[in-house]
Amino acid sequence: MGAKAKETRLPTGGRVRTVLLVEDDASVASITSAWLRALDFDVIVCANGREACDLAARRTEPIDLLVADVMLPGLRGPVLAEVLRGSHPETAVLFTSGYSPELLGEMFSSHIDSALLLYKPYDSSQLASRVDVALARKAAARHATDSPGETGSL
């Protein structure tokens, strides 16, 4: 992992970024949270969408990234992401799933088409790569809304 990847994760000012990991499989949550911590993230783990919503509603600090399984019990990942963005619009989203792309497309076509997905099983380098993409997408979207009307190239 090069220095450039680290720059993506640590914003200006050096604040450690926070990841809300929502995964109902305890073993997947354990290894994924360890990998995220190794990437210098502060990780909050929840086992289901309701727990994550309750936590996010009480939290005043930013949640930089939501990493959520698509098929969570009770409150599915895409719905959780919508609810979370209501109180934390700064949050980037990365979904994980063990389901096939075809099945996910049938179940969540309006949410999954533009979503960033990481298919299980994944390894630490795949996770790191997708985290970088999710954060870069959110930063680009934020930059586009912060500076409307600016065009041109470098």
What is the per-residue pLDDT across 108-121, written as a single tens digit (0 to 9) for each?
665 555 678 999 99
More confident: 80 or 13: 80
C-alpha to C-alpha distance for 108 and 22, rounded to whole angstroms: 18
pLDDT of residue 153: 40
Burial degree of 27 (CB within 10 A; 0-12, 13-18, 19+): exposed
pLDDT of residue 83: 93
Q: Give the predicted TM-score (pTM) of the model.
A: 0.83
Question: Is residue 150 over pLDDT 90?
Answer: no
Percent of the chain with pLDDT over 90: 62
Question: Is residue 141 over pLDDT 60?
Answer: yes
C-alpha to C-alpha distance for 99 and 71, rounded to whole angstroms: 9
Task: Calculate the CA 44 to chain-centre distance.
Answer: 12
Which band of pLDDT confidence, cut at 50, 70 and 90, is reported for residue 101? Answer: confident
More confident: 73 or 40: 40
Percent of the chain with pLDDT over 70: 79
Mean pLDDT lowest among 9-23, 32-46, 119-133 = 9-23
User: Where do the domains of the chain lie, and which CATH numbers do they carry?
Assistant: 19-141 (3.40.50.2300)
pLDDT of residue 111: 55
